[in-house]
Chain A
Amino acid sequence: MLNDRLTIALSKGRMQDGALALFARAGVIIPESELNSRKLIVNSADGRYSFVLVKPGDAPTYVQYGVADAGVCGRDVLMESRADVHEPLDLKFGRCKIAVAGKREVLGQDYNLLATVRVGTKYPRIATDYFHAKGVPIEVIPLSGSVELAPLLGLSDRIVDLVETGQTLKENGLEVIDVITESTARLIVNRASFHLKRIEVGALIARLTEALKP
């Protein structure tokens, strides 16, 4: 069952255009007709790569289980999933911050004076790790979108979310309190594929590295 074609899981949405542009610079072209179709699996023009388009949060799962040999996803998703995969390249696009934010009134408030911090977030693990590292008890309120609503409606004191420009926060009267970490798109690789398709994976990394050079 050893074949030479690599299967790559691409995150749809925020990351998709950046990823396709980078692959195009690396000489991996997906025909327009394929992209405009509603196919979930599309092939590159040279037939060497198959791309599966997945929900961003799922990319690490496809790669960890080996149904995709490699994948592109944000560092935020990777940290949250704790997937056991190789992470050989920073692809430099999709740059944003994972930050703690809240209403202006709470900006100066000391976490340590709170019994528990209530945090609305799409990133329960990142949020928990961050507050635990500070020794602050946290109650996570898991949300899957429009996280900015939580402090406005009094569902939570703080949010932990992705911040690209900060515009959404500002328009909703929220501000960044602390930046937890920076996130960019990453190339991830399945541990078994790294060995079983070492030549092909190595070639992909080399092509992308070349394409990343300014």
Chain B
Amino acid sequence: MSSLTKIPAGVQYFFDDEVKLRRYVERRAMETFAGWSYDEIILPMFDYHDLFARGMGQENAERTYRFVDRDSALLALRPELTSLVARTVATRFIKRERPVRLCYSGEVFRYDEPTERAAREFHQLGVEHIGEPNIVADIEVLLVAAEVLTALGLSDFRIALSHVDFFNGVAEFLKLDEANSAELRELIDRRNSLALEEFLRTRAAHVEQSRRAGFSRLIQIAGKRDAIERAQEIMTNERSRAAVEHLDKIYSTLIALGLEENFDIDLGDAGGLEYYTGLTFKVYVPGFGVEIGGGGRYDNLIANFGEPEPAVGFSLSLDGLADAISMNDDKRRWQSANDTQTISFDDDPARAFDQAREMRRLGKKVKISAQ
């Protein structure tokens, strides 16, 4: 140990009000998950490194904290929880009725770039809905996320919806190889309109000028219903059109439920994890400058551990939720009133403790004082 005061980068200690707030956030989220029939699963802190590499891809697994087992097998602290859930469902829940609904609450550990806002140790709350290919599961998880945010008093939240096939359809239509496709994804993700036009002029020269102009408007396709209509005008390839249609169905339901204000379409959102196969979404709340969570459909992940199965889920950062609440909120909702009764310990110890025991039985908070 270098010094008693030094703390490894990225680890956190919580005390006082922060603990109360975090437990409050966790409790409200888990209650909401339970209300939608998600059963909690408690997962191991570490597992084989290979499991995470299979789940999230080699690149992500490289950001894990690794160590070796007695038999020299490579282990890793869990960098995420979805792979652990997926493996469990694919191997141990084979005979259970589908869909399987699971939820979790737990810390994950990752080495992060120093510029990234996230701590190296952070706490995720999430759900996985496995075995249901129907759009109804997509809508369900969106509503679960919305309800958690509302239950926490963050009713100004915004969830931005996208679909991976929208971008994939564009890349396919432009006949881009993998490297060019990755570059295009990056430009769209950063909404870099100038560089996007330049990219299309040089790498997609075979596409006629008028079509190219349409594609360079891709990054502006964010908004409400109007964004879907604009996307339908620009897109002619089947894959992108199917993606837009899928989002249209989801969005219509959200509108019918009176949630239009809280949900946006953002087809310019092409970043994020490669394992998604359909709907993707990111969650934002005022007072927190980065996304507070996200999710989507990942129909290919489970096949890495067994039979292929459709799945959709999301996770929220407990740290982010706690930050946003403490910035915006009336503390009374999560702080218990200070109603502790102090009992003085005098010459007769039995009497003081007897009094304390009686008050505890009535549900009161007590503190024994030596004075």
**Chain A residues close to B by CB (< 8 Å):** 1-2, 64-67, 81-90, 189-196, 198
**CB-CB < 8 A to B288: which residues of A?**
66, 192
Residue of A whose beta carbon sits closest to that of B264: A195
Distance between B273 CB and nearest chain A CB, rounded to angstroms: 15
- In Å, the complex CA distance between A184 and B282 comes to 31
**Of B190, B193, B266, B289, which one neighbours A192 at CB under 8 angstroms?**
B289
Among candidates A66, A85, A88, A193, residue contacting B193 with C-beta atoms closer than 8 Å: A88
Contact A88 B115 (CB under 8 A): no
Say yes or no: A90-B194 contact (C-beta < 8 A), given A2-B156, A194-B222, A196-B158.
Answer: yes
Give the distance to chain A from B153, nearest Cβ to Cβ, in Å.
Answer: 12
Given A1-B328, A65-B117, 19 other A-B residues pairs in contact with their CB atoms under 8 A: A2-B156, A65-B289, A67-B289, A83-B115, A84-B290, A87-B190, A88-B192, A89-B193, A191-B284, A192-B288, A193-B289, A194-B191, A195-B160, A195-B222, A195-B264, A195-B266, A195-B284, A196-B156, A198-B223
Q: Please measure, in the bound complex, the distance between the C-alpha atom of A68 and the C-alpha atom of B324, giving whole angstroms.
A: 16
CB closest chain-B residue, reference A86: B191
Is B255 positioned at the interface, with any CB of A under 8 Å from its CB?
A: no
* Given known A83-B115, A198-B222, contact A191–B290 (CB-CB < 8 A): yes
- Interface residue? B247 (CB, 8 A): no
Q: Which residues of A contact B266 (CB under 8 A)?
A: 195
Determine how close the nearest CB of chain A comes to the CB of B333; give it in whole angstroms.
Answer: 16
Chain B residues within an 8 Å CB radius of A189: 191
CA–CA, A191 and B190, complex, Å: 9
How distant is B288 from chain A, measured CB to nearest CB, in Å? 7
Q: Is the CB of B116 within 8 A of A84?
A: yes
Contact between chains at B194 and A1 (CB < 8 Å): no
Q: Is the CB of A1 within 8 A of B117?
A: no
A37 CB to nearest chain B CB (Å): 27
